[in-house]
């Protein structure tokens, strides 16, 4: 290999110099909304824990002041700066709030960092199925009825949920918080995509102001934070701050990047001082674009009218997220994304079976929106429409109906000796891995669960149908099981 090359740098440079319309995270969209001085001096801010600058693990100076301002701005009891994203925050919350063997209700479509927290804490999950949306091929949140029944049946001491989902939909967080209080259970929230909720009254209710014991948020996904910028908010009456700080010391680097921490500080200032105004403009742009996209033949956009009401798994919608249904086009959503990117210079966050997700933030412009709408208009016309609109619900419905025995905790399964066996011979074995079909992006099998004959048959059917599978062997010729 040629050591004079820098392939990663070259790829980054080529991507940046294409000048694409950005509908992906981070929220600053190439630095547009970053503090100008911070943007100019990022390299100079790559510093160590010097006396003038404070120390993240035991802050007493400017970092401590920044954390107090964060708590005040978000309206929480105490907040902590994170430099390893919401992943590190979720693991720290697990180590702070859960104990080995303790039952905890967990939303099945939780981020894999929640599974990492369960592995590290040793807690025993009780998996709860979210509400499925066949129109767009996505999963929403948990209904109050599902959670209430599980609390009665299990006596769980905590509920860990996603608020919002990747796609901007939320369950009835206020009702779920009240339900947790009545059962003396802590509400733990992966709110990675919610750092803006508390700064505008037309966005969904903020978990950190609704009774959550802990809320983890990615400042970089939506606001003007650099990648890995995140915060953890806690209610000190429910979760001991010293315990949280100790957990953070276990998972965070001792060499944090000061530019990341400073970007959290400046993003907080931006939201506290001008957040409502900036988010109003963002909502206006997103709503206008949504109406224009919905008028394009073959496309639809998830809107507030699609919500299924109080107490359901889809109670509110973050309208800054544009979930575009492509089921009416005679082509897979992946091909739509590819054409948007290569022909129109428009880059969505992701494509899934039957949908595209575009993340809009305070840093997007009217010109970005015009490029998105124009690109979708041409792309839809290029591929044409079809009459059989909708994501096939057959196998997905079967998947969501399955229930498996949790033989081992995720931690026990993670540390167990494993082996790869043919899927056809895996019935009755205990899985050592998560196996996740897309759609719906919800694990059919979790580590520590027994592979039933029904699960094996369904996995074979999904593989035969060409459904993408996230597993150690995506072809599902073999699966990892506990030896």
Q: For 413-419, what is the mean pLDDT?
A: 96
State the pLDDT confidence band at 400, using cuts at 50, 70 and 90.
Answer: low
Residue-level pLDDT at 395:
59
Q: For 214-231, what is the mean pLDDT?
A: 97
State the pLDDT confidence band at 49, using cuts at 50, 70 and 90.
Answer: confident
Q: What is the dihedral of CA 231, 235, 238, 241, to 10 degrees?
A: 60
pLDDT above 60: residue 125 = yes
Beta carbons within 8 Å of 476's beta carbon, 6+ residues apart = 423, 435, 459, 460, 462, 463, 469
The DSSP output letter for 103 is E
Residue-level pLDDT at 397:
59
Residue-level pLDDT at 1:
87
Q: For 42-63, what is the mean pLDDT?
A: 92
Residue-level pLDDT at 74:
98
State the pLDDT confidence band at 25, using cuts at 50, 70 and 90.
Answer: very high
Beta carbons within 8 Å of 230's beta carbon, 6+ residues apart = 82, 83, 84, 85, 86, 88, 89, 192, 216, 217, 218, 219, 220, 264
Beta carbons within 8 Å of 75's beta carbon, 6+ residues apart = 198, 206, 208, 209
pLDDT above 80: residue 441 = no
DSSP 305-327: GG---TTSS--EE-TTEEEEE-T
Write out pLDDT tens, residues 163-195: 999 999 999 999 999 999 999 999 999 999 999
Distance of CA 365 to the CA centre of its chain: 24
Q: For 34-39, what is the mean pLDDT?
A: 96
User: Beta strand 158-162 with 103-107: parallel, antiparallel or unpaired?
Assistant: parallel
Residue-level pLDDT at 310:
98
State the pLDDT confidence band at 386, using cuts at 50, 70 and 90.
Answer: confident
How much of the chain is helix, strand and coil, in % rounded to 5?
A: 40, 20, 40
Residue-level pLDDT at 149:
97
Residue-level pLDDT at 394:
57
Mean residue pLDDT across the chain: 94
- What is d(CA 192, CA 405) in angstroms, rounded to the nearest whole number? 29
State the pLDDT confidence band at 63, using cuts at 50, 70 and 90.
Answer: very high
List of domains in the chain: 36-268 (3.40.640.10), 276-383 (3.90.1150.10), 394-482 (3.90.100.10)
Residue-level pLDDT at 440:
63
Residue-level pLDDT at 463:
85
State the pLDDT confidence band at 137, using cuts at 50, 70 and 90.
Answer: confident
Residue-level pLDDT at 226:
97
Q: Taking a C-beta distance cutoff of 8 angstroms, is the pair 178, 151 a contact?
A: no
**Which range in 172-176, 353-357, 395-399, 444-448 is most confidently predicted, on average pLDDT?**
172-176
Beta carbons within 8 Å of 316's beta carbon, 6+ residues apart = 164, 169, 170, 204, 205, 307
pLDDT above 90: residue 449 = yes
- What is d(CA 69, CA 33) in angstroms, rounded to the nearest whole number? 20
Write out pLDDT tens, residues 336-352: 999 999 999 999 999 88
- What is d(CA 305, CA 390) in angstroms, rounded to the nearest whole number? 18
pTM of the full structure = 0.93
pLDDT above 80: residue 438 = no
- What is d(CA 391, CA 139) in angstroms, rounded to the nearest whole number? 13
Cα-based angle 233, 77, 100 (whole degrees, multiple of 5)? 55
Write out pLDDT tens, residues 245-295: 999 999 999 999 999 999 999 999 999 999 999 999 999 999 999 999 999
- Rounded to a whole number, what is the largest CA-CA distance in the chain? 66
Write out pLDDT tens, residues 101-111: 999 999 988 88
Phi-psi region of 207 (alpha: psi -120 to 50; beta: other; left: phi over 0): alpha
Q: For 80-90, what is the mean pLDDT?
A: 96
Residue-level pLDDT at 308:
97
Q: For 201-219, what is the mean pLDDT?
A: 98
């Amino acid at each position: 290999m040629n050591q004079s090359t820098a392939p990663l740098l070259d790829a980054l440079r080529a991507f940046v110099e294409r000048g694409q319309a950005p509908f992906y995270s981070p929220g600053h969209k190439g630095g547009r909304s970053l503090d100008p001085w911070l943007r100019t001096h990022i390299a100079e801010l790559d510093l160590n824990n010097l006396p003038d600058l404070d120390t993240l693990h035991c802050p007493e100076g400017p970092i401590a002041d920044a954390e107090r301002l964060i708590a005040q701005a978000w309206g929480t009891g105490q907040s902590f700066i994170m430099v390893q994203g919401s992943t590190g925050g979720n693991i720290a919350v697990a180590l702070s709030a859960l104990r080995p063997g303790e039952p905890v209700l967990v939303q099945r479509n939780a981020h894999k960092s929640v599974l990492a927290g369960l592995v590290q804490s040793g807690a025993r999950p009780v998996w709860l199925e979210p509400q499925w949306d066949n129109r767009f091929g996505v999963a929403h949140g948990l209904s109050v009825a599902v959670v209430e029944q599980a609390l009665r049946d299990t006596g769980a001491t905590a509920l860990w949920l996603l608020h919002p989902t990747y796609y901007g939909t939320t369950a009835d967080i206020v009702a779920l918080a009240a339900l947790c209080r009545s059962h003396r259970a802590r509400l733990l929230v992966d709110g990675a995509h919610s750092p803006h909720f508390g700064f505008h009254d037309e966005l969904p209710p903020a978990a950190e102001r609704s009774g959550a014991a802990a809320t983890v948020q990615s400042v970089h996904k939506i606001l003007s934070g650099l990648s890995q910028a995140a915060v953890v908010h806690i209610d000190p009456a429910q979760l001991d701050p010293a315990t949280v700080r100790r957990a953070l010391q276990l998972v965070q680097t001792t060499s944090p990047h000061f530019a990341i921490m400073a970007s959290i500080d400046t993003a907080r200032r931006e939201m506290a001082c001008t957040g409502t105004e900036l988010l109003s403009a963002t909502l206006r742009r997103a709503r206008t674009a949504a109406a224009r996209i919905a008028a394009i033949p073959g496309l639809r956009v998830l809107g507030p009218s699609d919500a299924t009401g109080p107490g359901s798994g889809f109670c509110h919608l973050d309208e800054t997220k544009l979930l575009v249904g492509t089921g009416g086009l005679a082509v897979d959503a992946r091909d739509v994304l590819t054409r948007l990117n290569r022909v129109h210079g428009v880059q969505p966050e992701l494509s899934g079976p039957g949908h595209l997700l575009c993340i809009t933030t305070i840093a997007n412009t009217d010109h970005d929106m015009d490029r998105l709408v124009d690109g979708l208009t041409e792309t839809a016309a290029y591929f044409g429409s079809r009459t059989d609109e909708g994501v096939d619900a057959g196998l997905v419905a079967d998947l969501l109906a399955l229930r498996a025995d949790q033989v081992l905790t995720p931690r026990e399964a993670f540390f167990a000796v494993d082996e790869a066996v043919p899927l056809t011979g895996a019935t009755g074995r205990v899985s050592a891995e998560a196996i996740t079909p897309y759609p719906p992006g919800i694990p059919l099998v979790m580590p520590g669960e027994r592979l039933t004959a029904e699960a094996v048959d369904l996995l074979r059917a999904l593989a035969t149908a060409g459904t993408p599978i996230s597993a150690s062997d995506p072809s599902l010729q073999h699966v990892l099981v506990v030896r």
